[in-house]
A = this chain, B = another copy of it.
Amino acid sequence: MKKTRGGGDEAGRFAYEGLDRVIHEKARLGVLTSLVAHPKGLLFGDLKQLCGLTDGNLSRHLQILQEAHLVETVKTFESNRPQTTCRITAEGRKQFLDYLTVLEQVVRDAAAATRSEEASSSPLGLAST
Contacts and interface: CB of A to CB of B under 8 A. Distances in A.
Interface of A: 4-8, 10-17, 19, 21, 24, 26, 29-31, 33-34, 36-43, 45-46, 49-53, 78-79, 83, 85, 93, 96-97, 100, 103-104, 106-107, 109-114, 116-117, 120, 122-126, 128-129
11 contacts: A4-B42, A15-B52, A16-B30, A33-B109, A36-B114, A37-B113, A39-B117, A40-B122, A41-B124, A42-B126, A46-B126
A49 B71 CA distance: 35
Contacts of A36: 110, 113-114, 117
Contacts of A21: 26
A83 B40 contact: no
Given A31-B14, A124-B41, A5 B79 contact: no
Contact of A51 (B14, B24, B85, B96): B14
Contacts of A12: 49-52
Contacts of A14: 30-31, 33-34, 50-52
B38 A15 contact: no
Nearest to A31: B14
B96 A103 contact: no
